[in-house]
Amino acid sequence: MKYINLVLFLLIFAACTTPRVVYDYDHKTNFSNYKTYNLYPEIETGLSELDNKRLLRVTDSIMQERGFVRTATPDFYINIETHFFEPDRNNAIGVGVGGTGRNVGGGISIGLPVGDKHNQQFVFDFVDVRQDELFWQAVVEGFYKEQSTPEEREVYFIQILQKVLEGYPPKK
């Protein structure tokens, strides 16, 4: 019984920390035409210089694992933007006190500390080089831990990229 409870707890925990992704794309696009890529020339990820290097290195690695070739004359550009924001503070405890016949009542709400985790949103745009048109986009939200080690940050970026690229090319 203890083993089952532990497994359920880990599944719930993993579900809560898994990045959420929303995909959008042009339905008229023939995705088989896109075999080569490069990073957008004026890419501004919004990350620190070291995190930027990690993210771009992971992007190259995963794209090449999936059979894409990085070249100076690509079929499409990859542009990545990030945004940070505080997580929703929906972790409050509320205590209510019932009223009398005259509608008297009261309540106490206690906000729990969020810690050093922040929400982070990544926007991945795939832009057709010849037509200068966006043809695929993924928006992913994850939790970014400020005090993470360089290794933890790289693992985080790998998780983000793998989740993002699950939807490319789209399954029609």
14 lies in a domain?
Answer: no
Query: What is the number of domains present in the chain?
Result: 1
pLDDT at 8 exceeding the cut of 70: no
> What is the pLDDT confidence band of residue 30, given thresholds at 50, 70 and 90?
very high
Query: Residue 157 falls within a domain, yes or no?
Result: yes
pLDDT mean across residues, the chain: 83
Mean pLDDT of 71-84: 96
Considering the domain boundaries, does residue 1 fall inside one? no
The whole domain housing 24 covers 20-98+109-165
Residue 68 in domain: yes
Q: Is residue 150 part of a domain?
A: yes
In a domain, 170, yes or no: no
The per-residue b/e assignment along 122-159, b for 16 or more CB within 10 angstroms, e otherwise, is: bbbbbbbbeeeebbbbbbbbbebeeeeeeeebbebbbb
Residue 150 sits in a domain whose CATH number is 3.30.160.670
Instruction: Reply yes or no on whether the pLDDT at 67 is more than 90.
Output: yes
